[in-house]
Amino acid sequence: MDSVFGICGKDWVIVAADTAVNRSIFTLKSDEDKIMNLNTNKVLASSGEQTDRYQFCNYVQKNLQLQAFRTGVELSVEASAQYMRNELAEALRRGPYQVNSLIGGFEHTTGEAKLYWMDYLGTLQQVQKGAHGYAAYFVNSVLDNDFRKDMTLEEGIKAMKKCIVELRTRFIIKQPAFVAKIVTKEGIQVINLDA
């Protein structure tokens, strides 16, 4: 039931996720932030079973911080995504995480933003726009229609707002609120996308 979607521009990434935690016919929580800050220039937005999502995201965050502490070097967005893919692939053999993710970040070395789409099987792909969950059925058409390689941050925010309007209009399951984060060279910023 989770909705996670994102869009990537030349030097920015916007990732959004609903804030509801549902189990069967019950809403357990309505203020969950499903977008974890991995460091000052990377975020991990995840959907899936709450326990798997929480465990996997915390495991990844802490291990990336440990690696940076030990070596004094932060991994790039691509290296972080590859690390997560490897962890999911290895977990398939012992106890898989039911987690689908979008990994977004800004590379200070190249001055570019990157967005990666990853499913629970460890399939990883760099994308310009992506979505997970039932949201993908509704927002991919909006993102396909509005995305341009040279779009500005303001146009990206407008496209993400249109995605939320589309979900609220067409999706039968009510998702009362969304959290969104922008990653730029200045860092991570939380924004309100309620139209």
The C-alpha atoms of residue 7 and residue 128 are separated, in whole angstroms, by 6
pLDDT of residue 195: 57
The three-state secondary structure class of 128 is: coil
Confidence grade of residue 18 (pLDDT, cut at 50, 70, 90): very high
Pick the CATH number of 3-191 from 3.30.450.20, 3.30.43.10, 3.60.20.10, 1.20.1050.10: 3.60.20.10
Examine the pLDDT at 46 and tell me if it is beyond 90.
yes
Q: Are the CB atoms for 162 and 171 separated by under 8 Å?
A: no
The C-alpha atoms of residue 14 and residue 114 are separated, in whole angstroms, by 10
Mean pLDDT of the chain: 93
Strand-pair partners of 48: 99
Q: What is the pLDDT of residues 133-181, one digit of tens each?
A: 888 999 999 999 999 999 999 999 999 999 999 999 988 888 889 999 9
Backbone angles phi, psi at 88, to 5 degrees: -65, -40
pLDDT of residue 27: 80
Q: What is the pLDDT of residues 111-141, one digit of tens each?
A: 999 999 999 999 999 999 999 988 899 999 9
The C-alpha atoms of residue 4 and residue 53 are separated, in whole angstroms, by 12
Q: Higher pLDDT residue, 96 or 83? A: 83
Residue recorded with tokens 């200045």: 186
Residues above pLDDT 70, as percent of the chain: 99
Q: Are the CB atoms for 143 and 131 separated by under 8 Å?
A: yes
pLDDT of residue 174: 80
Backbone angles phi, psi at 7, to 5 degrees: -145, 145
Confidence grade of residue 83 (pLDDT, cut at 50, 70, 90): very high
Q: What is the pLDDT of residues 3-13, one digit of tens each?
A: 999 999 999 99
Q: What is the pLDDT of residues 97-115, one digit of tens each?
A: 999 999 999 999 999 999 9
Confidence grade of residue 26 (pLDDT, cut at 50, 70, 90): confident
